[in-house]
Amino acid sequence: MMILVTGGAGFIGANFVLDWLAQSDEAVLNLDKLTYAGNPENLLSLQGDSRYLFVQGDIGDAALVAQLLARYQPRAVLNFAAESHVDRSIHGPEDFIQTNVVGTMRLLQSVRAYWQGLAEGPRAAFRFLHVSTDEVYGSLSPDDPAFTETHKIEPNSPYSASKAASDHLVRAWHHTYGLPVLTTNCSNNYGPLHFPEKLIPLIIVNALAGKPLPIYGDGLQVRDWLYVKDHCSAIRRVLQSGRVGETYNVGGCNEKPNIEIVHTVCTLLDELRPKGDGSSYKTQIAYVQDRPGHDRRYAIDASKIERELGWMPAETFETGIRKTVHWYLDHQAWVTNVQSGAYREWVKANYAERA
C-alpha cells in the first residue's frame, strides 16, 4: 500500500509526510518540483527510509505522473502542490495560474485515467484529496459569521483566484467523471519548516537578525491560525473517513489580528532569546504600506469536520506558537540555508516599495 503526495517538500506537505510516516508504515511517494519553497532538507530525516521515495517533477507533466501512477499503484493521491504566497502572486500571477490551475487540471486528468483502469475493489477505495485554502471565500467584515463550506466563493487575489479555480476543477472532475475526490480548505498554517516569507517565520528571522519587523497597514487584519500538525491530523482524518465529493473546512479556532501575532512572537523571543541590551523585540516593529487588495478578515467554521469526523485541533495558539518559536531557535542552520540570494532579493523587492 502506498499514497502519492504532490508538493511534499513544501511547508505543509513536508510536515504531512513526516507525520504520516511517524504514525504509519504505509509508504509515501513524494512528487515535488522543488521550486523556491520546496526544500529537500525538510525531509532529510527520511534518508534511507525504505517507506519513502522522492521524485522531482511537475504535477503538470502528464507523462511523468502517468508513469508514477502505473508503476507504484497508490491507493490515494494527496495534492499539496501549489504556488501559495499572495505577495508573489501580485508580483507575478502567471506562475500561480500555471501551477494551481493548469497543473491541477493535468493532474486530475492523469489521476482519472489511472483510476478508471483500476480493478473494482481498488477503484472503489481510491481517493483524490485536494488541499486548499480559506482565502477562496474572500474577506469578512468584523461581525460576519465565519466561513462555512457553502459560503460564496469570492477570491480577491491572484493566488486565491487560482486556488478557487483548482477547487472548482476538482469538484467538476467528481461530478462529471465520478472521480472520488475530497477537498479541504484550511486557515493560516504556522509551525516548523515554514518558509520565512510568511508572517510568523519572517518576524522570528528578522527579530533575531536585528531587522525591522514589517507590519502591513494597521496590522489589524484578522486570520484564524492553525498549527500545521493539527492540519496534518485533519487531512489524515478526511482521507480516512471523509464523504466522497465533500469539502471540509479546517481551522484552528484562533482568530487573531496580525499585530497581536507579532506582539506574541516578540514576547516569546524576549523570554527565550533576550536581547543583550535588555530591550524588547517589539521596538523593531515597523508599519509599512499595505498589500494591494488586502483581505481584512478570515474566519473558519470547522463544525462540519468536528460533527462528521470527530476532528478538533489539539493545540491552542499559545501552545502552538511556543513550539514554533522554539523550533526556529533550535534550527538556525535550516533558516540560514533557506535564505538564499534569491530569497534575499525577493524580500528586498517586496518590502522596499512599502517602506
Q: Which of 32, 58, 87, 134 is catalytic?
A: 134
For residues 23 and 201, what is the distance between their CA atoms, to the nearest angstrom?
27
134 catalytic, yes or no?
A: yes
328 catalytic, yes or no?
A: no
227 catalytic, yes or no?
A: no
User: Residue 176 carries which side chain, given as an amino acid letter?
Assistant: T
Neighbours of 23 (CB within 10 A): 11
Q: What share of the chain is helix, strand, coil (3-state, %, to 5)?
A: 50, 15, 35
- Give the Å distances, CA to CA, from 4 to 73, 81, 111, 220, 296: 9, 12, 11, 39, 36
Where are any strands of DSSP class E within 134-228?
Answer: 181-186, 188-190, 213-216, 222-227
Q: Which of 32, 83, 135, 255 is catalytic?
A: 135
Where are any strands of DSSP class E within 138-289?
Answer: 181-186, 188-190, 213-216, 222-227, 247-250, 255-257, 285-288
Q: Which of 52, 114, 137, 159 is catalytic?
A: 159
For residues 344 and 99, what is the distance between their CA atoms, to the nearest angstrom?
23
DSSP string, 287-350: EEPPPTT---B--B--HHHHHHH----S--HHHHHHHHHHHHHH-HHHHHHH--HHHHHHHHHH
Is-contact 191 228, C-beta < 8 A?
A: yes
Report the catalytic residues.
134-135, 159
